[in-house]
Amino acid sequence: MKILVPIKRVPDPQTNISVKADGTGIVTDNVKFVINPFCEIALEEALRIKEQQGGAEVVLVSIGQKVTQEQLRTGLAMGADRAILVLSDDELDAATTAALLAKLVDQEKPELVLAGKQAIDDDANQTGQILAAMLDWPQATFASKVEFSGDKKDVTVTREVDGGLETVAFTLPGVITTDLRLNEPRYASLPGIMKARKKELKEIPLAELGVDPKPRVKTHKLSPPPKRAAGRKVETVQELVNLLHTEAKLI
């Protein structure tokens, strides 16, 4: 089995983010970048499938500038077999990203695309669904459990939905997007880091894939969330009730 795992370079969730004064983006100076946490979960699940089934190949793919090699090398150190970097200086929307991934799927012929359900920088939660539609493949989103049958072609996925859990099943090829509770990603070991240096990391210019990078969705402006007002102390219950009624509009 070949598993394609798309990953995205995003700011570290623990980093304090500042918006540029003109609202065109975030300040990236001194900001640490990491693999998107949901993508990391997808990679961990791919590695577990490889360990359980044996003989599987895990191929990472990312789209971005050369600095994205750092995140791909981290994924290789975790245990992925090889990586592909589509070089692009443009900010791509979900539809364009899915179109590029569809081209790579056509080239690589994986049985499974295992991706994070969303990226923490834009929270779009669209790429996996659009990719499945472009490929005309079955999909299971928000996966919290993935199980394969004995022949390794039929997969059962437990999904997290608003009303609880939903179980779906399909025959490969297919697309699965991962939720937070699917697994706990491993750390890259020292031997893994050493091996990652020798693993293949192929670079492909975006133009070679024949996809128009012009976005269908454009971000006009970013703004930080409003600052929270300071707390207030009240002397009596009646004063609290009055505030809840007149200012908070809660009663």
pLDDT of residue 105: 97
Please report which confidence band the pLDDT of residue 28 belongs to, taking 50, 70 and 90 as the band edges.
confident
pLDDT of residue 227: 84
Contact 3, 152 (CB under 8 A): no
Mean pLDDT score of the chain: 92
5 has a pLDDT exceeding 90? yes
Tokens of 34: 């990491």
pTM above 0.85, yes or no: yes
Instruction: Give the pLDDT mean for 44-67.
Output: 94
Structure confidence by residue, pLDDT tens digits, 122-176: 889 999 999 999 999 999 999 999 999 877 889 999 999 988 999 999 999 999 9
Give the three-state DSSP class for 81: coil
Could you identify the residue written with the tokens 């995003």?
10
Instruction: Give the pLDDT mean for 198-225.
Output: 89
Instruction: Give the pLDDT mean for 212-221.
Output: 84
pLDDT of residue 222: 86
pLDDT of residue 103: 97
Pick the CATH number of 2-246 from 2.40.10.220, 3.30.70.120, 3.40.50.620, 3.40.1390.10: 3.40.50.620
Number of Cβ within a 10 Å radius of residue 56: 18
